[in-house]
Amino acid sequence: MLNYMLNYMLNYMLNYISKFNDLSNTKGYKILFFLIGGGVFTLSYLVQIAKDKPCNSLLGEIIRSLHHLCIYFVYYGFLAPISILWATTTILFITLLSWTSTTNTCFLTIFENNLCKLNKNRIFYDLSYHLSRKIDNFMVYNRIKIYSVVCILIFLRLYEYYVPGKHKKVQIHGHRGSRGDFPENTLYAFKNAIENNVDFIELDLQITKDDEIIIYHDKNINTKICNGVSKPIKSLLLKEIKEYDCGSKKNINFPNQQTIPGEKIPTFIELINLIQTDYKYKKIMMNIEIKTEKSLDTDNEVYHFSNTLVKLLHKYNITNDVIVQSFDVRALKYIKEIDSTIKTAYVIEDQLPNIDTLINTSKNLGVKIISPDYKLIDKKIVKKLQENGFEVLPWTINDTKALKQNIEYGVDGIITDYPVQFMNYR
């Protein structure tokens, strides 16, 4: 019972630490961390220049300024972006070593006093001393104890992020945005997923008669979810596509879905512009599917679609922020021919090929991810695919029982219509 409670508490804590690690890696958080750090460092240094004796040694002045910079990373280093936490942790450990080996004095204070020819017993005062002497005194006399505890938090952050296989985080891909909650493949559904920090937004791409890439799943306008007449997407101009209202009708398969009257079919460029303006400080990853079919699209049409898409990815500098997936092996082949650096995923439904055949086909296509219907896989298959260098990304998982089972299989991610709920469950 005690072991169960301890494991539960540890997993509960690691879950929140994982969320914080993810937040700390966003552009906005990084900018804020260094902006505040730069401000505190500058203000602290200027206060010492105004209050303390000047240093006639250039090296001493450098040591003094470095000391102020280190203070920020010592006090707030445990909040650093996870990608640089090892660096701030190194500073903290060196500082702890200094405090414990010199009777609670800092190495840099000793160097500065010697270089600036100051009294060897002189105390270094940072910004906190001038803001609140009571707090500063408390920190000085208790800092070894305080930062010994902080080191535990740092260890848990590093453990959660760097130790492979100890706390593997299954990626959540929001299927068609978050269609369990809002109309599929609409900007509103994507906003919902993005604002709830879903790992990937998954979307479908079609190309119109006038070569505009739009976000839509079906080859024809689906009148069960859109108002208007059903016509093939590739026979319509973009201005005709924009006449459809795809937010007023509720998808009967999702009883809790909220309608958003007036929502139009978005272009891929509109989504990119939304991300690069409203969410420019967040790292938004997209799993984009080329919706072509052997029976409906010629080889030339598939190549043209693939080439048009790659040009867009380069134009907006997002080749590293996307996975391009497809059921159509021609699309996967053409994407790799046009730009071999783009990460691709092979989507499979109905029947899983012989495992060795699947591995050989996938290697020949150059894909990094195999994305089967979740009902087609088991633990043995997942292990075999991963041993051959593939990530496994099953679709479309909408109940927690199937999610738990696939986590036990060891999958790398899952695609779901309920990404927000599954992020919380994870």
Q: Which residues contact 156 (CB under 8 A, 6 or more apart)?
A: 13, 14, 17
When pLDDT is cut at 50, 70 and 90, the band that residue 4 belongs to is: low
d(CA 324, CA 370): 12
Range of weakest confidence among 147-156, 264-273, 278-287: 147-156
Residue 319 has pLDDT above 80, yes or no: yes
Question: What integer pLDDT is reported at residue 351 of this predicted model?
Answer: 87
Helix axes 379-387, 400-409, angle to 10 degrees: 50
Q: Which of 271, 289, 317, 22 is nearest to 171 (CA)?
A: 22
The total number of residues written for the chain in this structure: 426
Residue 290 phi/psi, 5-degree rounding, is -85, 115
Burial call 359-381: b when 16+ CB within 10 Å, e when fewer: bebbeebbbebbbbbbeebeeeb
Mean pLDDT for 301-318 is: 98
d(CA 314, CA 331): 17
Question: What integer pLDDT is reported at residue 7 of this predicted model?
Answer: 66
CA distances to 52, 55, 149, 209, 291 from 128, rounded to whole Å, are 15, 21, 21, 65, 59
Q: What is the pLDDT of residues 56-86, one digit of tens each?
A: 788 877 887 887 777 777 778 888 898 888 8
Tell me which residue has tokens 């500073």. 91
Which residue type sits at 1?
A: M
Residue 3 has pLDDT above 70, yes or no: no
Residue 310 has pLDDT above 70, yes or no: yes
Q: What is the pLDDT of residues 116-174, one digit of tens each?
A: 877 777 777 777 777 777 877 787 778 778 878 888 888 888 887 776 555 467 999 99
Q: Identify the residue with better confidence: 203 or 148.
A: 203
Q: Which DSSP letter does residue 219 get?
A: S
Average pLDDT over the chain reads 89
Q: Report DSSP letters for 220-241, one per residue.
A: B--TTTSBS---BGGGS-HHHH
Q: Where are the domains of the chain?
A: 2-162, 171-425
Question: What integer pLDDT is reported at residue 336 of this predicted model?
Answer: 97
Q: Identify the residue with better confidence: 357 or 139.
A: 357
Q: Which of 273, 210, 274, 272 is nearest to 242 (CA)?
A: 210
Question: What integer pLDDT is reported at residue 165 of this predicted model?
Answer: 52
Question: What integer pLDDT is reported at residue 249 of this predicted model?
Answer: 96
Tell me which residue has tokens 């004796």. 53
Q: Which of 329, 284, 327, 336 is nearest to 309 (CA)?
A: 336
Q: CATH homologous superfamily of domain 171-425?
A: Phosphatidylinositol (PI) phosphodiesterase (3.20.20.190)
Residue 395, CA atoms < 13 Å, CB-side half-sphere = 23
Q: Which residues contact 68 (CB under 8 A, 6 or more apart)?
A: 41, 44, 45, 48, 126, 127
